[in-house]
Amino acid sequence: MKRTALFTLVLAATLSFAAEPPPATPAPLPGPAAKGTDPDIVGEEKALLTAAPNVPPPITRKHATKVIVNLEVREVVKRMADGVEYLFWTFGGEVPGLFIRVREGDLVEFHLGNHPNSKMPHNIDLHAVTGPGGGAASSFTAPGHKSQFSFKALNPGLYVYHCATAPVGMHVANGMYGLIFVEPKGGMPPADKEFYVMQGDFYTKGKFGEEGLQPFDMEKAIDERPSYVVFNGSVGALVGDNALKAKVGETVRLFIGNGGPNLVSSFHVIGEIFDHVYQEGGVVPTQEQVQTTLVPAGGSAIVDFKLDVPGTFILVDHSIFRAFNKGALGMMKVDGPPNLLVYSGKEVDATYPGESAFPSTEAKVATLEAQMKKAIAGDPKISGISKEIIMEKGKRVYAQTCFACHQAEGQGLPPVFPPLAKSDYLMADRDRAIRGVIKGQSGEMVVNGQKYNGVMPPVLLSDEQIAQVVTYVMNSWGNSGDIITVEHVKKIHAESANQ
């Protein structure tokens, strides 16, 4: 219907109503009679409701309309976790309840049905409603009954709705909550994907993961000690095949709600930064570049972020035990080509000896080490052990580095490789031996009366390893010499570098 036509009609109705006495059969309830007088409302449509993680499409309508919402309360046994079932009380058979999307200024005609199989009466408090109880006062509905009330969506924003029947905490704890988005008149900035994620805490008699149909535990609920904290109604609702899916380059919007009943969520996506956050579900982007946003119990938030790199991004309540021990963990799988300028992937995997200690610590350690060495040197028993250790280490270096040429027992391979066992050349000058290992050696030399004229390439060893291996060769196969200290090798190293 055209707006002008409707306006005339409404106007005529109002005028004629004013001119005439009240009708003989009064309307059963007040309220619905008044809404026909709103000249802003053009036409009528049925709301499309979606189960999480889906969100109804953005509203492109440029005018307000009457939106009919049909929502049925059902008490259903559903999966809480693998092997764990729970009797959920739901709006639309789902936890969280079905997502409702209307436009600012719309007249919402709400029909709440309570399935005949229900054991409890229920109602609904929509935080988007301006009016007593947010609709609760008009929607108390016994099993097998339905209620109707209307409200004008005056305030845009993302609002929680929940059951408000006593005991309220218990109805909420059993899953009776969802989100209604009142889209601002001007719409939201476009996003490529929109998702519905709602957290809730659950209180079961059994511990987390305890199998079977779990009854509600009032005491735990009062003490705020949940057995489960989950996104979208169960452990793993957004994991694996159920992960949210998007592509590199897309902008994603999350409509986040928190049903509580008790916990506040520190909502975080591991590996992403929220470009915009509409804090507390308002319609003004109040923050940019946010890591973690707080979502109050009975509150919401909207976040937008662009996906720059592929991978699996983990949604958590960053009160992190809830994520890894109580279920508050979801996934977003992002497909697409890598962008190595943004994120390289693993570049290095190497053993890591650790950073050197802080200078003050280092000095202290050096002093202690010096004291220890002095003590060890003064005690023949200990110094004997330390020599053994050095010999063992030296043997290992020898086997890896020198063995190929000088042979297993240091016997060499005359006339190419001189012997080290009982080598007069080696034992005559230990500094020369150290220098030879550091720099390599060539030219004619005579070892045990035999001439050698080959080339020994410099070996790439640390000063410590050189000290160990030279100690080893000078104390093996009939040789008997001193322990070569690292300090001594360092000194020779420095001298030979200066030559």
Under the rule (CB under 6 A), what is the footprint of ligand HEC?
401-402, 404-406, 417-420, 423, 425-426, 433, 436-437, 441-443, 445, 447, 452-457, 459, 469, 473
DSSP 252-269: EEEEEEEEESSPPEEEEE
Binder of Cu ion out of 141, 165, 265, 293 (CB under 5 A)? 165
419 touches, from ligand HEC, Cu ion, none (C-beta below 5 to 8 Å by class) = ligand HEC
Cβ proximity to ligand HEC, 379 vs 429, nearer residue:
429
- Element at 168 (helix H, strand E): helix 168-173
Tell me the residue type at 436: G
For residue 50, give the 3-state DSSP assignment: strand
Q: Please report, as residue ranges, which positions from 172 to 211 form the binding site for Cu ion (by CB under 5 A).
A: 176
Report, in Å, the least distance between residue 406 CB and ligand HEC: 6
Neighbours of 340 (CB within 10 A): 10
Cβ proximity to ligand HEC, 234 vs 441, nearer residue:
441
User: Strand 287-290's sheet: what is its strand order?
Assistant: 228-231, 193-202, 251-260, 299-306, 274-278, 287-290
Report, in Å, the least distance between residue 437 CB and ligand HEC: 5
Cβ proximity to Cu ion, 160 vs 492, nearer residue:
160
Are the C-beta atoms of 224 and 262 separated by less than 8 Å? yes
Number of residues that bind Cu ion (CB under 5 A): 5
Cβ proximity to ligand HEC, 137 vs 413, nearer residue:
413
DSSP 456-476: EPPP---HHHHHHHHHHHTTS
Spatial distance between the Cα atoms of 112 and 72, rounded to a whole number of angstroms: 6
Cβ proximity to ligand HEC, 17 vs 403, nearer residue:
403
252 touches, from Cu ion, ligand HEC, none (C-beta below 5 to 8 Å by class) = none
Cβ proximity to Cu ion, 138 vs 476, nearer residue:
138
418 touches, from Cu ion, ligand HEC, none (C-beta below 5 to 8 Å by class) = ligand HEC
| Inter-CA distances, 304 with 76, 191, 374, 440, Å | 33, 8, 65, 64
425 touches, from ligand HEC, Cu ion, none (C-beta below 5 to 8 Å by class) = ligand HEC
Cβ proximity to ligand HEC, 320 vs 416, nearer residue:
416
Q: Is residue 152 within the footprint of Cu ion (CB under 5 A)? A: no
Binder of Cu ion out of 49, 107, 160, 163 (CB under 5 A)? 163
Spatial distance between the Cα atoms of 198 and 494, rounded to a whole number of angstroms: 67
Report, in Å, the least distance between residue 390 CB and ligand HEC: 14
Cβ proximity to Cu ion, 165 vs 465, nearer residue:
165
Residue bearing tokens 């090798």: 489
Q: Is residue 171 within the footprint of Cu ion (CB under 5 A)? A: yes
Q: Which residue is nearest to Cu ion (CB)?
A: 163
Report, in Å, the least distance between residue 383 CB and ligand HEC: 23
Beta bridge partners of 200: 230, 260
Closest CA to 288 of 265, 306, 308: 306
The stretch among 159-167, 332-340, 420-428, 437-445 that binds Cu ion (CB under 5 A) is: 159-167
Q: Is residue 266 within the footprint of Cu ion (CB under 5 A)? A: no
b/e map of 350-363 (b: 16 or more CB within 10 Å)?
A: eeeeeeeeeeeeee
122 touches, from ligand HEC, Cu ion, none (C-beta below 5 to 8 Å by class) = Cu ion
Closest CA to 469 of 491, 442, 493, 489: 489
Residue ranges that bind Cu ion, judged by CB under 5 A: 122, 163, 165, 171, 176
